[in-house]
Amino acid sequence: MRHLRRALLFLSCVVFAWSVAAQSITFNDTPERMLSFSLRDVEEGTTELPGQGGEVAGIDLLDKGTRHLIGDSAVYASPLFEDSAWTVLRSSLDSVVPGARVHWMRTWVLPDSALKGEPFLLTVAADDGFEVFLNGRSVVQADARRDGVGAAKADSLSLMHVPVTFRCDGEPELIAIRMEGTPGRTLREIELSVTLHPPDVTFGVQRRVMHFGVFVGINFIILLLSLVIWSLERRETSWLMLALLSFVSALDTICEVASEMGLLGLSKSTLSVLHALDILLLPWPMYLLIMVLGSMGVELTKLRRRLYTIGAILVTLFCAAYLVAESRGLAESENGLALLNDSPWVIIPGLFMLTLFGLIVAWFSIDVIRLGIRLLRGKGLTRWVGGGAVASSLFALFLNLISSATGLGMSSWLSLAADYCSYVAVPVSVAVYLAIRAAHHNRLVERQRDDLDQEVKERTAQLTAEKERSDELLLNILPYEVAEELKQTGAAAAKHYDLASVLFTDFKGFTAMSEQVTAAELLQELNTCFHAFDDIIGARGIEKIKTIGDAYMCVGGLPDPLTSSPLEVVHAALEMQAFMIARKAERDAQGKPAFEMRLGIHTGPVVAGIVGVKKFQYDIWGDTVNTASRMESSGEVGKVNISGSTYAEVKDAPGLAFTSRGKVEAKGKGELEMFYVTYAGVGS
């Protein structure tokens, strides 16, 4: 059973290959005596129409049954004349009679009876003057061409379109052509063409060209998109393969329009090149489609990739061999592949290459469908590409089969749908894939952007809070102006101030109290007092400098001289002493030891700045600092002792009372003038 399945598969591949690659194989074709045709033959047949292509709906009236005679007589146009003795047209194309300038061709046709009254378009083109007769009646006449020789066929031939109707009475009807031109020219040189078309053939050509333009445009758009994406994602080789597939598909379509349909008005040499290129490109769209499918989710082994490449190259070589055979007159493909030589040296290699060609094409087609179905059954976005591959292969074949079995109107639409499946199914599916992928990425980017915005807001809030804490901590260490200068420049220069009021405090009995309470209780009481001092000087714009053990030091008049005057420092000192007196009374009532404080103030010049680069501290220097310290040590508990310079600044302030102490000896300073200051009305 296994071997039987393989045999059946092989047989089906060969049959498929012969049906795809060779629509017909004929040897020494013999023309029939009469051309019978129906409406379907005219509308579904294809023939060449000068200037409008080689795949135009219609039939060639000179292809079969036409008889040819070199000579002239009026009776040759009559249906009553017997022409059985005339030669077959194909065998006499190169015949010439010296001095003769008139050729006659007669074609007997038998239209289907259903065509009675149906209009048709009879198109005649030739390189010389001609006249066409239908059943003995002249229907069209054209004089010999008078323009130059060597122009393109579509531009140089005399072309006539004539509406005709047939009797369709069941009797044969005659189409006779009389050619008259330059003596000695063969009929092949005259390039006569007589074809019969549906009345809307021109519109059909225009519609077909429009559809092919759509095919080319879509493929070029996908080509550009693929190249752009590949330039951004070099590791994704699928985009490069897709770009090559779109390019080859567009080029193949252009070659078909230009060479097979002859619609671009190119020269014969260019058309022959495009014709050869069209044939050589035959395996590459399927090959590149397999590569695209293999790189978009269906893994292909290196061996299979090599086999696909070898198969595509072999098919290309077979196509090249056919082109060589065609150029030497051994084969043609006007009506299916025909071998024109019955020599075994031609037939045997031809059949071998044709069979191998068909097997490779069948293999490629089956694998395109197989890989496409695998992608289509997947869950990712690439299933759209798989759907396009299935549509371009399986659906196109299915629609063409149905088209061949349906009526004329439905057949044309099904053929058009099959063309769209063949040419644009993959590009459109890729476009859908790209659109969904872009939308998916946009949603992902939007979600990431929203998450990032939220994270940025949270981080910004955290940074703001940290900055505020850092600024607050920095301002606890440094004055605002100095801190801002330090943040902006990384350093703070020392500055000289002419009038600064320095305040020192010191607790009496600190050592004795440390022996009576625990270290924690001592520290807590010390912190309570200093916290109160901080609040007092902060309310008056006085800058705290430092604490040294139980000593507290602050200064007014810097860093901004306008923030705190000597008077503000004196008021702060009085409030500090008032707090300490009240605190002592509170602690005495609780039976707890309390601090008593001496306080001194001196006003004078100082230098202020930052000391060091690590654990830096804002400090002041100068004799004013030393003198203020002597004011504190020379004072009494519960009193505010100020120097003469401070007294000079505040003596006229209302609400204050001063008690002169005269000259008082100060350690290391000699005698200094000192004053006690209190609120007016309060005993000294």
Are 549 and 652 found together in one domain? yes
Long-range pairs of 655-660 with CB within 8 A, sequence gap ≥ 24? 655/679, 655/680, 656/570, 656/680, 657/681, 657/682, 657/684, 659/684
Amino acid 682: pLDDT: 64
Domain limits for position 77: 26-199
Are 186 and 219 found together in one domain? no
Indicate the average pLDDT of the chain. 79
Amino acid 647: pLDDT: 94
Which DSSP symbol is given to 402?
H
Give residue 21's pLDDT band: very low, low, confident or very high (50, 70, 90).
very low
Burial class from Cβ neighbours inside 10 Å (0-12, 13-18, 19+) for residue 30 reads exposed
Residue 105 sits in a domain whose CATH number is 2.60.120.260
Show the tokens assigned to 637: 């508990």
Which DSSP symbol is given to 334?
B
Lowest mean pLDDT among 83-87, 96-100, 539-543: 96-100
Are 35 and 62 found together in one domain? yes
* Calpha distance 420→21 (Å, rounded): 21
Are 207 and 336 found together in one domain? no
Give residue 636's pLDDT band: very low, low, confident or very high (50, 70, 90).
very high
* Amino acid making up residue 338: A
658 has pLDDT over 80? yes
Are 67 and 101 found together in one domain? yes
* Calpha distance 637→623 (Å, rounded): 24
Which of 212-223 are b and which e, b meaning 16 or more Cβ less than 10 Å from the residue's Cβ? beebbebbeebb
Closest CA to 616 of 473, 462, 420: 473
In a domain, 431, yes or no: no
In a domain, 451, yes or no: no
Amino acid 10: pLDDT: 37
Instruction: Dihedral sign for Cα 236, 240, 245, 247, please.
Output: positive
In a domain, 634, yes or no: yes
* Cβ-based neighbour number of residue 193 at 10 Å: 20
pLDDT digits (tens, 9 = 90+) for 424-437: 777 777 767 766 77
Are 271 and 254 found together in one domain? yes
Give residue 337's pLDDT band: very low, low, confident or very high (50, 70, 90).
low
569 has pLDDT over 70? yes
Give residue 43's pLDDT band: very low, low, confident or very high (50, 70, 90).
confident
Residue 644 sits in a domain whose CATH number is 3.30.70.1230
* Calpha distance 594→525 (Å, rounded): 8
Amino acid 18: pLDDT: 41
Are 186 and 319 found together in one domain? no
Give residue 450's pLDDT band: very low, low, confident or very high (50, 70, 90).
confident
pLDDT digits (tens, 9 = 90+) for 129-183: 888 999 999 988 887 654 433 333 434 455 778 888 998 988 899 999 898 877 7
Amino acid 25: pLDDT: 36
* Calpha distance 603→558 (Å, rounded): 12
Please tell me which of 193-202, 483-492, 567-576 the model is most confident about, judged by mean pLDDT: 567-576
404 has pLDDT over 70? no
Q: Report the predicted TM-score, pTM, of the whole model to 2 decimal places.
A: 0.50
> Going by C-beta distance under 8 Å and a sequence separation of 6 or more, which residues neighbour residue 448?
none
Give residue 535's pLDDT band: very low, low, confident or very high (50, 70, 90).
very high
Closest CA to 168 of 200, 136, 135, 195: 135
Amino acid 342: pLDDT: 64
Helix (H, G, I), strand (E, B) or coil at 497: strand
* Calpha distance 339→107 (Å, rounded): 26
pLDDT digits (tens, 9 = 90+) for 462-496: 888 888 887 777 777 777 777 777 777 766 778 89
Give residue 340's pLDDT band: very low, low, confident or very high (50, 70, 90).
low
- Among 371, 386, 414, where does a domain finish? 371
Inter-CA distances, 256 with 234, 277, 370, Å: 33, 10, 28
| For residues 620-628, average pLDDT | 92
In a domain, 101, yes or no: yes
| For residues 362-389, average pLDDT | 75
| For residues 503-522, average pLDDT | 86
Amino acid 406: pLDDT: 58
| For residues 515-527, average pLDDT | 88
Amino acid 605: pLDDT: 94
Closest CA to 583 of 531, 655, 641: 531
Element (H, E) at 662: strand 656-666
- Among 179, 199, 219, where does a domain finish? 199
Closest CA to 128 of 165, 97, 93, 102: 102
Are 543 and 626 found together in one domain? yes
At CA 110, angle to CA 109 and CA 116, rounded to 5?
115
Amino acid 4: pLDDT: 32
Give residue 531's pLDDT band: very low, low, confident or very high (50, 70, 90).
very high
* DSSP string over 440-489: HHHHHHHHHHHHHHHHHHHHHHHHHHHHHHHHHHHHHHS-HHHHHHHHHH
- Residues in the chain, total: 684
260 has pLDDT over 50? yes
| For residues 36-63, average pLDDT | 76
Are 59 and 194 found together in one domain? yes
Burial class from Cβ neighbours inside 10 Å (0-12, 13-18, 19+) for residue 183 reads exposed
Are 544 and 593 found together in one domain? yes
* Calpha distance 491→484 (Å, rounded): 10
| For residues 604-624, average pLDDT | 84
Place of tokens 């074809």: 195
> Going by C-beta distance under 8 Å and a sequence separation of 6 or more, which residues neighbour residue 5?
none
341 has pLDDT over 60? no
Q: Which residue has the higher pLDDT, 323 or 313?
A: 313
In a domain, 9, yes or no: no
27 has pLDDT over 50? no
Amino acid 8: pLDDT: 35
Give residue 24's pLDDT band: very low, low, confident or very high (50, 70, 90).
very low
Closest CA to 217 of 53, 1, 392, 428: 428
Closest CA to 389 of 287, 507, 534: 287
Amino acid 278: pLDDT: 85
| For residues 442-456, average pLDDT | 85
Closest CA to 170 of 210, 242, 110: 110
In a domain, 310, yes or no: yes
Give residue 527's pLDDT band: very low, low, confident or very high (50, 70, 90).
very high
* Cβ-based neighbour number of residue 338 at 10 Å: 18
Closest CA to 557 of 600, 504, 496: 496
In a domain, 426, yes or no: no
Give the count of domains, the chain: 4
Q: Which residue has the higher pLDDT, 443 or 437?
A: 443
Closest CA to 196 of 78, 115, 76, 130: 115
Element (H, E) at 197: strand 193-197
At CA 378, angle to CA 372 and CA 382, rounded to 5?
65
Residues 658 and 567: beta-carbon distance below 8 Å: no
- Among 281, 309, 344, where does a domain finish? 281
Query: Phi, psi (5° rounding) for residue 327?
Result: -65, -25
6 has pLDDT over 50? no
Closest CA to 481 of 398, 541, 546: 541
Residues 329 and 340: beta-carbon distance below 8 Å: yes
Are 55 and 177 found together in one domain? yes
Amino acid 683: pLDDT: 55
Lowest mean pLDDT among 96-105, 544-553, 621-630: 96-105
In a domain, 662, yes or no: yes
Q: Which residue has the higher pLDDT, 147 or 206?
A: 206
Long-range pairs of 538-542 with CB within 8 A, sequence gap ≥ 24? 540/564, 540/568, 540/569, 540/571, 540/572, 541/568, 542/503, 542/568, 542/569, 542/572
* Amino acid making up residue 315: V
Are 276 and 317 found together in one domain? no
> Going by C-beta distance under 8 Å and a sequence separation of 6 or more, which residues neighbour residue 585?
none
* Calpha distance 466→484 (Å, rounded): 16
Amino acid 140: pLDDT: 83
